[in-house]
A and B are shown apart, each in its own frame.
Chain A
Amino acid sequence: MKINKSWYFLLAISLIYLALFCCNPAIFWSSFNFFIKTLIKIIPIFAFIFILMVLVNKYIDNDFIIKHLRGSKIKSWFYIIIGGIISTGPMYVWYPLLSDLRNKGISNGEVASFLYNRSIKPAFLPIIILYFGVTYTVVLSIVIILMSFVQALLVEFLMSFSLNKK
Chain B
Amino acid sequence: MHLMKKSIKKSTKALFNMVPILISILLLIGLLDSFLSKNVYEKVFGHGTFLDSIIGGLFGSISAGAPVNSYILGGEFLKNGVGLTAVTAFIVTWVSVGVIQLPIEGKILGMKFAVIRNISAFVLAIFVALITSFIIKIGV
Contact = CB atoms under 8 A, between A and B. Distances in A.
Interface in B87-140: 88, 91-92, 95-96, 98, 101, 104-105, 108-110, 112-113, 116-117, 120-121, 124, 127-128, 131-132, 135-136, 140
B71 A17 contact: no
DSSP class of A's interface residues: helix, strand, loop or mixed?
A: helix
Nearest to A150: B124
Contact of A151 (B65, B110, B124): B124
Interface in A82-96: 88-89, 91-92, 95-96
Nearest to A55: B7
29 contacts: A6-B65, A10-B20, A13-B24, A31-B30, A34-B29, A34-B34, A35-B27, A53-B14, A54-B4, A54-B8, A57-B11, A58-B3, A58-B7, A91-B95, A92-B98, A102-B109, A112-B113, A112-B121, A130-B75, A135-B136, A140-B132, A147-B124, A150-B124, A150-B127, A151-B117, A151-B120, A155-B116, A159-B116, A164-B112
Contacts of B68: 49, 121, 124, 127
B33 A31 contact: yes
Interface of B: 3-4, 6-8, 10-12, 14-15, 17, 20-21, 23-24, 26-31, 33-35, 65-68, 71-72, 74-75, 78, 84, 88, 91-92, 95-96, 98, 101, 104-105, 108-110, 112-113, 116-117, 120-121, 124, 127-128, 131-132, 135-136, 140
A72 interface: no
Contacts of B108: 95-96, 99
B132 A136 contact: yes
B136 A136 contact: yes
B109 to A, nearest CB: 6
Contacts of B92: 119, 140, 144
Contacts of B72: 38, 42, 127, 131
B31 A144 contact: no
Given A6-B20, A91-B98, A166 B110 contact: yes
Given A10-B24, A13-B24, A147 B113 contact: no
Interface string A1-16: 0001011011001101
Given A119-B96, A140-B132, A155-B120, A95 B104 contact: yes
A139 interface: yes
Interface of A: 4, 6-7, 9-10, 13-14, 16-17, 27, 30-35, 38-39, 42, 46, 49-50, 53-55, 57-58, 88-89, 91-92, 95-96, 98-99, 102, 108, 111-112, 115-116, 118-119, 121, 124, 127-128, 130-132, 135-136, 139-140, 143-144, 147, 150-151, 154-155, 158-159, 162, 164, 166
